[in-house]
Chains A and B, each alone.
Chain A
Amino acid sequence: MARKLMKGCEAIAEAAVRAGCRFFAGYPITPQNEIPEYFARRLPEVGGVFVQGESEVASVNMVYGAAAAGTRSMTSSSSPGIALKSEGISYCAAARIPMVYANISRGGPGVGAIQPAQQDYFQATKASGNGGFEMLVLAPSTVQEAVDLTYAAFDYADRDRNPVLLLADGVIGTMMEPVELPPMKTDEEVAAIKASKSGWACIGHKLDYANRSWIAPGQWDTAIMQKQNEEAAAVYASWKKDLQVEEYQIEDAEVVIAAYGICARIGKSVVDICRAAGKKVGLIRPITVHPFPYSSFDKINYDVCKAVLDVEMSIPAQLVQDVELGVKGRCPIETCLCSGGNIMSREAVLEAVDAILAK
């Protein structure tokens, strides 16, 4: 199939359209403006609807409504805007409304920096809103992977009736790479997906007291509320089968780099450089950062591994806490960090690897 040179944000938007997304609402924020701009051009061509919301809060709630009406729907933002969306995401999770959203994350906290960062890890994986709900969180490290994960995200969302988060950093969102785009769902397929939700979708139903649509992100009755949470927890527990991780040359590694997103890509190039020089270095790259592939760390040979090197664009480090849960004290953990919009340098990672090997 022909490959096309595309910017990450635009490729994500096109992948969503091809997956059948027919509603997008968003609010401008760098470095993800190309996503709403692309949808504004593209959705009318396929009979979809684009709305520029008056805020991130409004946008996510428009998506809550559109998705509750049965349409595959998406929103996107970057870090400070994602924080504002947490209210609507929590409502979608509570009411079990399938939707997809992307965080093209930038430096923080506060308004932070418009340059790329990975400082929203805890927010993305542990508490994206009130109430302790969970989501599949997918972290691409190439534009192609961003396309493939966006396309799959809509199926996961519909399967689980739950939000799915694409956690991409500003590098993935703004760089251009050749991509192979997934097939475009036909109008009939898109209509069939929508029709499959008509039983619960909030669009109007024939008079039938027991079988109207009642989208309830909360309950007056605490017993019903607990049952709702137990049902959601059972869905979360089923995600072990959806774990995605790249384990690269870890069997004999004396240093194992742990990184996701753009840092993992840089880390992988470090592995290749080191291996060419005869240094035994490997990489664990979570693709689903929630749920987290803790068991990959059981495959490290701790008789030879001197340390796991956590590489992330966040100060203080965040991913490292999940790495610790995976390593379980079997070897030391070192970090190589940058933050505030600075992009991880390969030299810094190489230096950190050499420092461990020299010990």
Chain B
Amino acid sequence: MKKTAAPMLKCVVNGVKVSRAIDSGLTLSDFLRGELHLTGTKTGCNQGECGACVVVVDGKAVNSCLYMAVQANGKKVITIEGLKGKNGDPHPLVQAFADEGAVQCGFCTPGMIMSAYALLLANPAPSRAEIKQALSGNICRCTGYEMIFSAVEKAAGLLRGRGGK
């Protein structure tokens, strides 16, 4: 591999400061999975077509397979691993996905939950149509989506009950 001056990436991942020299061609998904060993973020296509790799950057859902790691410089990144509560409790979205039957093979699930997380940050009480729209970039081949919609609605209710946290 060619040696190029490696740029520095400084960002906050799941509340932890990260500072590393990285390859400028590295995608955020490869950085998270390969360098930080945060394998909860999945890749199903590496082409921005499936949504399995969605993470939240500064409050917005992005496909981390298309997003260059250097673009995250100075930003806050949240991955599925970052949704755990202080004492390890599952986030209401995670719990609701499990309880409502929204998980089958599970490969789409972390990305789906991160898209839903970004939606609820922006809109704590989404309608079903808004949920469908927000998840339209996340393909699930197993569930038929119905139980995923219910899980998001349930989690939204729980989160509103505890003031969005």
Asked if A and B bind, the verdict is: no
B residues at A contact (CB < 8 Å) = none
